[in-house]
């Protein structure tokens, strides 16, 4: 369900609207494929897949949404060639050797409109999880730009609902220690934070114009060479880790998580639990439960979460969704 994760903190006073009202608002912004001359289209789709029409899935107090985006990418070279053809034709018809910027702009717009209907479309979908109890929001993306687009669509839906309450005010989670500094310490000291192990993949990069990079893949990192690279100024940008022998992932220098994978100890018996609903409810409950426990541990390993003013750690500690379900 989640292959990556960008973490956001939402406003303390934010409350989810009634599920039926949210569903109606999402249906009004349901995904529609690109038109013939439309470069991009995005909208909400069913998290369960094409067999469902429900856009807002609530599992154990956790809300799961999914945004679909379709694009018609045009190669820059194709647009350039089409514009140049128009310019040459214009010169021959008018006898002018120079073509103004305004005319070139018009030619480019014409070329794009002409090429778009012939361009192949590409679709991608992004899952979004809102934890209204612990005030977390997680986007299945390691691109802040991509995550921001999803959040913008969500904010638009919420703001257009009648009698909408306090705003979402989602902001990227910030920690006392940067992920790069923390990873450098763990590698140099050969000591992982409590509850975590350092695995066998790592990327180190020099923070200068050359950006010289060293990558280790399936290689022990408890060697002098790694510490020497760090001492020489290289900064860890990616580090493979495992949390409590339950979830493996790669931590980035932006404190985002990629290559998320639930390990066998977590997945035992999942198929039996999910026979009646294609496994979606079981998968959603397990993923949100594991991540809601992993997130506070990861933030603690990074020195704790900073408050909105960026000056001090937040006093709250997220409570795992599994505990909420038992409460």
Mean pLDDT along residues 274-289: 80
- pLDDT tens-place string over residues 2-27: 999 999 999 998 888 899 999 999 99
Q: Are 83 and 107 in contact (CB under 8 A)?
A: yes
Mean pLDDT along residues 162-171: 78
Q: CB count, 10 Å around CB of 235?
A: 17
**Residue 161 confidence (pLDDT):** 85
**Residue 167 confidence (pLDDT):** 82
**Residue 209 confidence (pLDDT):** 85
Phi-psi region of 319 (alpha: psi -120 to 50; beta: other; left: phi over 0): beta
Per the prediction, the chain carries an average pLDDT of: 89
**Whether the predicted pLDDT of 314 surpasses 90:** no
Q: Are 41 and 293 in contact (CB under 8 A)?
A: no
**Residue 204 confidence (pLDDT):** 97
pLDDT grade, residue 78 (50/70/90)? very high
pLDDT grade, residue 149 (50/70/90)? very high
Mean pLDDT along residues 20-45: 94
**Residue 163 confidence (pLDDT):** 64
**Residue 279 confidence (pLDDT):** 83
Mean pLDDT along residues 86-93: 90
Would you state the structure tokens that stand for residue 188, as one six-digit string? 């140099």
Q: Rounded to whole angstroms, how far apart are CA atoms 242 and 171?
A: 26
Q: What are residue 122's DSSP bridge partners?
A: 71
Mean pLDDT along residues 271-292: 78
Query: Does the predicted TM-score (pTM) go above 0.85?
Result: no
Q: What are residue 305's DSSP bridge partners?
A: 175
Pairing type for strands 4-9 and 40-45 reads: unpaired
**Residue 96 confidence (pLDDT):** 87
Alpha carbon 255 to its chain centroid, in Å, reads 12
First to last CA, the chain: 25
């Amino acid at each position: 369900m989640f292959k990556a994760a960008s973490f956001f903190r939402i406003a303390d006073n934010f409350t989810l609207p009634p599920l039926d009202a949210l569903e109606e608002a999402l249906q009004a912004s349901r995904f529609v494929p690109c038109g013939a001359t439309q470069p991009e289209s995005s909208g909400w789709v069913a998290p369960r897949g094409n067999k469902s029409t429900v856009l807002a899935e609530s599992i154990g107090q956790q809300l799961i949404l999914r945004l679909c985006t379709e694009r018609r990418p045009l190669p820059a070279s194709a647009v350039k060639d089409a514009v140049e053809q128009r310019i040459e034709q214009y010169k021959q018809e008018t006898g002018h050797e120079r073509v103004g910027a305004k005319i070139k702009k018009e030619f480019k717009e014409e070329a794009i409109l002409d090429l778009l209907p012939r361009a192949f479309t590409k679709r991608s979908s992004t899952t979004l999880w809102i934890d209204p109890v612990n005030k977390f929001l997680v986007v299945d993306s390691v691109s802040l730009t991509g995550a921001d687009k999803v959040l913008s669509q969500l904010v638009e839906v919420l703001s257009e609902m009648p009698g909408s309450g306090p705003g979402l005010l989602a902001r990227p989670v910030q920690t006392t220690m940067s992920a790069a500094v923390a990873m450098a310490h763990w590698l140099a000291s050969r000591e992982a934070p409590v509850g975590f192990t350092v695995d066998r993949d790592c990327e180190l990069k020099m923070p200068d114009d050359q950006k010289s990079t060293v990558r280790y893949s399936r290689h022990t990192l408890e060697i002098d060479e790694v510490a020497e690279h760090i001492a020489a100024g290289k900064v860890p940008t990616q580090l493979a880790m495992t949390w409590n022998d339950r979830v493996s992932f790669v931590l980035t220098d932006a404190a985002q998580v990629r290559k998320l994978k639930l390990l066998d100890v977590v997945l035992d018996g999942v198929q039996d639990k999910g026979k009646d609903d294609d496994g979606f409810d079981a998968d959603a409950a397990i993923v949100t439960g594991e991540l809601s426990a992993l997130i506070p541990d990861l933030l603690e390993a990074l020195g704790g979460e900073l408050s909105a003013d960026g000056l001090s750690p937040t006093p709250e500690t997220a409570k795992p969704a599994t505990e909420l379900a038992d409460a």
